[in-house]
Amino acid sequence: MKIDRDAPIGVFDSGIGGLTVAREIMRNLPSEKVVYFGDTARVPYGNKSKETVLRYSRQIIRFLQEQKVKAIVIACNTASAFALDAVRHELEIPVLGVIEAGAVVAAKVTRNHRVGVIGTVGTIGSGIHKEQLQKLDPEITVIGKACPLFVPLVEEGWLHDPVTAEVAKRYLGELKVQEIDTLILGCTHYPLLRSTIQEIMGEHVRLVNPAYESALELKELLTRKGILASGKEEEEFPYRFYVSDLADEFKSFANSILPYDVEMTQKIDIEKY
Ligand code: DGL
């Protein structure tokens, strides 16, 4: 199948969190067009079953294919953990998750072979980071910790708040005693809590941001396949945003974190797909 290099990249998440990934794609691949889908009607995915998240992911992928995307980024750790393996074999275009790139960097930078992972209940329960890290280096001990309250705290906008710091201390205390030297921020929302997490863990713990690492992985993948955007095609809306609910709320959150003015956000009926 011939892929059009100037087609957009499809990026999806359970809601707003994947914007941290979209932001890195915009920064690191400025010539690429992006179609983003946030499943704001069915968020969160982090406490849903694998079957449900896989069904949702397939519906969104059908929608993105209708938008004629040239590649898909599953910008949600839970959906990457539950759906990537299955959907990768069902599509002719490249599909990327956000787990692998973070695992590769963590395996490279850890000195004491003790890596922590924080994420949703679904992601941590899936054991995917342990599987991937130990495939890269069987000597690595992986300590996972689900931090479910982080998502609502970020969505409330409490990024630098004593309540968030208190919750973080409680969650991260368990990882601190395990003497990890590397911590993967295995949920889309967590890069927004980076400074709080770093302060609690201490400067000696290296935080790995899979959103950034995945954007670099995407660049390498598009280059390898010869489908990086030519940069010649001008478009009125190079970034298009679709949601399954609450388009206005999505738009104001997106405008608060993206280095770009979000003008077009449209609600679509995802259950149709
Ligand atoms: N986007 C999800 C993730 O990265 C977090 C929010 C949710 O639970 O849906 O796992």
- Cα(61) to centroid of ligand 1, in Å? 17
- Cα(13) to centroid of ligand 1, in Å? 7
Pocket test for ligand 1, best of 151, 245, 257 (most atoms within 8 A of CB): 151
Beta strands in 4-160 (DSSP E): 9-13, 34-38, 71-74, 95-96, 114-119, 141-146
Q: Is 76 in the pocket of ligand 1 (CB under 6 A)?
A: yes
User: How far is Cα 164 from Cα 88, in angstroms, rounded to an integer?
Assistant: 36
In degrees and rounded to multiples of 5, residue 19 shows phi and psi of -65, -25
- Cα(45) to centroid of ligand 1, in Å? 6
List pLDDT tens digits, range 197-232.
999 999 999 999 999 999 999 999 999 999 999 987
Q: Which amino acid is at 189?
A: H
Active site amino acids: 76, 187
List pLDDT tens digits, range 159-212.
999 999 999 999 999 999 999 999 999 999 999 999 999 999 999 999 999 999
pLDDT reported for residue 171:
98
User: How far is Cα 271 from Cα 74, in angstroms, rounded to an integer?
Assistant: 19
- Does residue 239 contact residue 25 with C-beta atoms inside 8 Å? no
Task: Give the distance from CA 139 to its chain's centroid.
Answer: 27
- Cα(231) to centroid of ligand 1, in Å? 32
Q: Is 38 in the pocket of ligand 1 (CB under 6 A)?
A: no
List pLDDT tens digits, range 56-66.
999 999 999 99
Q: Is 153 in the pocket of ligand 1 (CB under 6 A)?
A: no
pLDDT reported for residue 232:
75
In degrees and rounded to multiples of 5, residue 185 shows phi and psi of -85, 80
The domains of the chain, with CATH numbers, are 9-97+212-272 (3.40.50.1860), 100-210 (3.40.50.1860)
Q: Is 13 in the pocket of ligand 1 (CB under 6 A)?
A: yes
